[in-house]
Amino acid sequence: MTEQPAPPLTLSHRAHLKAALEMAREAVAAGSSPVGAVLVNEQDEVVARGRNRVGEDQTAEHVGGASVAHAEMDVFFALGKLKNPGKLTLYTSLEPCLMCGGASALLGMGRVVWATDDAWGGSGRLIKWADHPAMQATEVMACPYPDLEAEGARLFAPEARRAFPDEGWELWRKRYPAETQDVEEQDAEEDQG
């Protein structure tokens, strides 16, 4: 693989992260997990949008109903073979898991930016992004906007409570105490009812 320069730093990070969060809301509305992604070229144009489709049927256009139907994979499958991936930026509403982070690295993404850390399922929990040999050519930006980070955490918190084991939920509560409070209160009400 030839070395390509990273995308310019002038991209509209905030607007693209908001677009990824909107895709996450679409995923929830469709019955899937609240994770969204957009892929942006060096001209700051969105070239693909994706969302989690694990809870949906597969179609000719999208992988669905499979454990690999994550938002990032939806973007990658939709585009097929990427041209100049080192000049692309992947924006996600949630820190990519090992599968999606690994795919981003193996495809040679120039940059990965996410709105919200995933205290349990994110790649960075298991291996530091900067320490992974495949990620050396990929710039990684975590949570550049606190308000969007909080929005993403509130959006994903119910899924984290439902899908993660107690240990994972504890990590989420410690990382995002305010954003997980509503879920905790709802759990307490259900326990009393």
Which are the catalytic amino acids?
A: 72
Nearest Cα to Cα of residue 30 among 57, 59, 49, 67? 57
Residue type, 21: L
Nearest Cα to Cα of residue 148 among 50, 12, 27? 12
CA pair distance 141, 104, nearest whole angstrom = 13
Is beta strand 111-116 parallel, antiparallel or unpaired with respect to 89-94?
parallel
CA pair distance 141, 124, nearest whole angstrom = 12
In contact, 157 and 172? CB cutoff 8 Å? yes
